[in-house]
Structure 1
Amino acid sequence: MRTRRLFTALAVASLTAAMAAPVAAHPGQHGPTEGHLLGPGAWGDLQLLGKADLTNTDDLIADVAVDPRTTYAYLANWGKATCDTNRENGDPDAGAYIVDMTDLANPKQIGFIPHSQDSRPGEGMQALQIDTKFFNGTMLVMNNEQCGKNGRGGVSLYDVSNPSKPVKLSEHFGDRANLARGDSNDTHSAFAWDVGSKAYVVMADNFESGGTDVDILDITNPKRPRLIREIDVDAEYPNLVQTNLGLTEVNLHDMVVKNIGGHWVMLLSYWDGGYVQLNVDDPANPTLIGDTDFNHPDPQLLESTGEARTAEGNGHQAEFTADNQYFIGTDEDFAPYGATNFAITSGANAGSYLSVPVPGSTPIVALADDKLNGPVVYGGYGCPDSAPIPTPASIPGYEASLQAGEEKIVALQRGPTGDPSAPEPACFPGDKAHQAALAGWDAVVFVQRHGGTENPPFCGSGGFVDAVVGVCTNHTAYHNMFGTPVSFTYPDGPAIGTVGERIEATAAFDGWGYVHLFSNQVDANKKFAELDTFVIPEAMDPAYAVGFGDLSVHEVATDPNDPTRAYLSYYAGGMRSLRIQCSSPNNCELVESGGYLAPSGNDFWGVETFTRNGKTYVAGSDRDDGLYLFATGP
């Protein structure tokens, strides 16, 4: 297998020049340019046509959806990571912007669909035509994730046949197994499909992540959605997970459904479980078609650095090519430095413990000595509605005990989930880190709650708004840091404010997330072969690991008119265009053919393709701006 990272000579020269000479940022675009990769504008076969600035608040925009039969786009207002409202900058609370793209050079916002209080859409935006006996028109599908005490989950459906007058069909429908929280479980993403007389939507169930997290609703009558199936993919279809490589964080992140050869095929992006295909001709009774494995050693790290290390997994989103011969998957990874060594360095339980990075946190190498070390204080759960995190100064003798080069470190537990002493909702690790930063802590040791993945641990990801160093370790280490008996039942752990042992953690570079090309022909073992990978060069260069924005790929959209082309939203790496070049069906490579990166930088979250007069166009959502529209070259 060969990997390619093609970048035109002109683009390289322009990019280098742009990085050498900072450019003033315009309002709503990132702020200081030193924190973002700067670009030359458009190159190759992508041309910028127009854009719609929708917000004055950074990190506000999420997914983009395009109505395939009209000239309208919908962009998710994701809301601030801290769950605050956006009104101080004139932005509405979470919901969806409606944009008229009749004039591709001058798209205009014409409306806004607000979400319920403390509920926000993100990955799950989709506009499609539905034609059943109960509904005929354009439907907008949106996920709901809770962000605050009044948040509600599930999926929301709107009639946008007349985009200037959207009509709510239903909201917050989903799996209501977690009735203690009063509503449907959080839904991270959603995808709907129309089979003729019936229509369905599949959702990623956040609450049951790692369990029955594939929820399928019958939305034939969109005013009365009905849950018809929950699937625990790993349990129902064994041997999907490469536990021998330590790839054990299994959960549904995204999905698409497409009619291929007369059969409805669901393509699930199943994080460490890889990319999984199910036959959903009968959505209530799916059957396994096959899945992918992550190659060992990691092919991009091996090529870029010569290191033979285990692949990280992180299967995030995927799409089939127009001819269904291939599919392309994107692995999202916000942690270019893996936490490879974590140790308790004092007390009776001194020794090494398993650890992982916390995606979105500041890597350990940002510290002057490339090392996180010092005594740890227990701060509880650390969510906005949790018991307050104590300040370092409030802990008697703590600051005086710090030695040269040590940091003020607070330990925060993942959750809360199921803890009778903490009924408040769980939150992102970034929410916890924000509370820690406000209290005056330098770094956070996130610890896995009991009942979560212990080896390797996982403490969640995302939501970071502060430059806080973070590392995640397991529940056993949590108890041993504070000298309490190792327990996996409530009540649990030390009192908030307890001073524990000293810890030390270091990290090694392992790159950002990248792209996979797979054959869509399953073998006798129900496996799809990986044919190639792609990554932008900066993503595998330690020089760009800190200070240039997130250089992970996020999403892919394939060209509906050309099976050899695809487009990537690459966060701070911009928008990228790829071609699939094959000398034979199983000897193919991904080659960059164009892209766009603004002189002041970008932060692209979503990407969608659409056709007008037989020509393909690309819509991208920039987290700090809004909608970008691109033409594609020959």
Structure 2
Amino acid sequence: MKKKFLIKTALAGALVISAGGTTALAHDEFSGGIEKGDSLAGVELAVPLLEGSKNTGNLQEVAAVSLKEVKEGVQNSSGDVYAHKGFAYVGTHTKNGGEGGVRVFDMKDPSNPVEVSSFAHIPGTWQEKVIVKTVNTKYFKGDLAAVSVQKVDRTNPNAKGGFVLYDVTNPREPKELGFWEDTSGARGTHELYLTVQGNNVYVLTANCYADLYSHGEKMDVNIVDVSKPSTPETIYEFNPRNYIPEISDDNYDGYNWTDEQGIKRAAFAHSVKTDGTGKTAFLSYWDLGTIMLDISDAKNPVYLGRTDFANDVQGAAHSMDLAKGGNVLIETREVFGPTREGFESAYGYTMIYDIKDKANPKLLSTFRTDFTEKIPGGATVHDPKVQGNTLYLSHYAGGVRTVDITDPSNPEEIGVYIPSKSNIWGVFVDRNYVLASDMGSGLKVLQKNGSQ
């Protein structure tokens, strides 16, 4: 039976700002929506909007740098952002044909990030997500970068999707090590995660719609052993039909799912991540919620449970992060189309769960902003990051939101950062600063607590 939740909501303070643009619905592939990077930018501000209290009330923008043109006259748009050992790695989106690769910034002086190299410029593709970890295996020792690769045109026979591995031990001179190809007929790997279990290194993939396009021959989520980066090896594919009682061939085709209430929903893997040990995986599976697996034995994962939604809530589990030592799950839901018959009228917001018992996640609260009507199309949450008791959220035209989750049952917004024409894709917390990737204008650096 579909669960009914008592939802406890924390509303943010009013934000008086507006923007034009067409609203995109749900997810790009089947929504008929428009390019996020071209449509969701907010109004032009003379100075960044900064509001807040407590520590993040002293956030200040200390740098805003554009991506270099790797091709003369071609400006790429930013994807996600990651930081490792004093360097920031910024992926790129589809603007101007993609092929923007990953940009590496030296962050020795956070007020003056310097783009020192770029890599993974693959024809006909875009490189949104990059994860970097220090690894030590029989075959490779150093800093390894895993980069998602998606076709700009899914039908292009000359483009290959999947992920690529690079040696970034010297970030100024990245070296390609290996490539893993998604052969499902989908675009490739949308998001991924690189995780380490002792001497074993794995990449988990979210290949959106692989199940659908391959008619069940390939799955959206793969676990790939990259301990030997030159020869990545797929060791496991997650098929939700084998684990989740509500899913079967009768009501699911790899994307379209009719739930037990007869409601048509979308179910596909959008994002993947593990906990710090690399032994528990979290699959953001849109209207199937966040699926949790024990991957201690990566070749034989064990299903633990999943989050669920009330009947009138659009699912759209997009991304996640953990808090409180892994006992609390932060789940962000990307909903661009707030009006759908039979559902609540709401853009995507954040759900916070107690997952001490992963077989029975308990919804503790939700966090919503109240600018639904003030920023059309940009009012949905995107990605979460947690540091200590503070949750950082990217919110497209809504900028960066910081939320106090000391009490996860009562989240409180404590900071807002909105740059001019804001279109914040990702956030990452590193040392005493917050990195934000802005799709229109590159990398933004925010200093915490007002320190210089």
Inter-partner Cα distance in structure 2 for 1:169 and 1:58: 27
Inter-partner Cα distance in structure 1 for 2:226 and 2:126: 21
CA contact (8 A) 1:71 1:100 kept: yes
Q: Deviation at 1:206?
A: 2.9
Which residue in the other structure is 1:144 paired with?
A: 149
Inter-partner Cα distance in structure 1 for 2:344 and 2:8: 22
Provide TM-score, normalisation by structure 1. Answer: 0.59
Which residue in the other structure is 1:163 paired with?
A: 171
| Residues 337 and 323 of structure 1: CA distance in aligned 2, closer, same or farther (over 3 Å) | same
Q: Equivalent residues in 2 for 1:275-290 (5 A)?
A: 275-290=290-305
Which residue in the other structure is 2:369 paired with?
A: 536
Q: Is the counterpart of residue 317 in structure 1 residue 332 in structure 2?
A: no
2:345 to 507, 510, 515: 510
CA contact (8 A) 2:190 2:207 kept: yes
Give the 4+ runs in structure 1 shifted more than 6 A: 30-34, 56-59
Q: Equivalent residues in 2 for 1:71-470 (5 A)?
A: 71-80=86-95, 84-85=96-97, 93-122=99-128, 124-148=129-153, 149=156, 150-171=158-179, 173-176=180-183, 178=184, 186-209=188-211, 211=216, 212-239=219-246, 242-244=259-261, 246=263, 248-259=265-276, 264-296=279-311, 310-321=312-323, 323-338=325-340, 340=341
- Identity among equivalent positions (%) equals 27
Which residue in the other structure is 1:630 paired with?
A: 446
If asked which structure has higher relative contact order (CA below 8 Å, sep 6+), I would say 2
Q: Deviation at 1:550?
A: 1.7
3-state SS, counterpart of residue 633 of structure 1: helix
For 1:63, the aligned partner's letter is D
For 2:441, the aligned partner's letter is D
Q: Deviation at 1:72?
A: 0.6
Q: Is the counterpart of residue 619 in structure 1 residue 435 in structure 2?
A: yes
| Residues 65 and 19 of structure 1: CA distance in aligned 2, closer, same or farther (over 3 Å) | same
More helix by share: 1
Q: Is the counterpart of residue 572 in structure 1 residue 397 in structure 2?
A: yes
CA contact (8 A) 2:61 2:444 kept: yes
| Residues 109 and 40 of structure 1: CA distance in aligned 2, closer, same or farther (over 3 Å) | closer
CA contact (8 A) 1:58 1:625 kept: no
Inter-partner Cα distance in structure 1 for 2:38 and 2:125: 27
CA contact (8 A) 1:247 1:272 kept: no
Inter-partner Cα distance in structure 2 for 1:509 and 1:325: 28
Q: Deviation at 1:245?
A: 6.3
Who wins on radius of gyration, i.e. which is larger? 1
Q: Deviation at 1:94?
A: 2.4
Inter-partner Cα distance in structure 1 for 2:64 and 2:307: 37
Aligned length: 399
Alignment deviations for residues 579-598 of structure 1 (CA, whole Å, 9 cap, x no partner): 1142xxxx712111102012
Q: Deviation at 1:58?
A: 7.8
For 2:384, the aligned partner's letter is V
| Residues 5 and 519 of structure 1: CA distance in aligned 2, closer, same or farther (over 3 Å) | same
Inter-partner Cα distance in structure 1 for 2:122 and 2:38: 30
Inter-partner Cα distance in structure 2 for 1:156 and 1:34: 30
Q: Deviation at 1:62?
A: 0.9
CA contact (8 A) 2:76 2:92 kept: no
For 1:94, the aligned partner's letter is G
3-state SS, counterpart of residue 248 of structure 1: strand
Inter-partner Cα distance in structure 1 for 2:300 and 2:159: 31
Q: Deviation at 1:333?
A: 1.2
| Residues 146 and 174 of structure 1: CA distance in aligned 2, closer, same or farther (over 3 Å) | same
CA contact (8 A) 2:120 2:164 kept: no
Name the stretch that deviates more: 201-210 or 213-222: 201-210
CA contact (8 A) 1:277 1:290 kept: yes
Inter-partner Cα distance in structure 2 for 1:31 and 1:254: 23
Q: Is the counterpart of residue 551 in structure 1 residue 379 in structure 2?
A: yes
Inter-partner Cα distance in structure 2 for 1:174 and 1:200: 15
Aligned residues: CA RMSD: 2.8
| Residues 32 and 129 of structure 1: CA distance in aligned 2, closer, same or farther (over 3 Å) | closer
Inter-partner Cα distance in structure 2 for 1:121 and 1:144: 5
Q: Is the counterpart of residue 6 in structure 1 residue 12 in structure 2?
A: yes
Unaligned runs of 5+ in 1: 21-29, 87-92, 297-309, 342-507
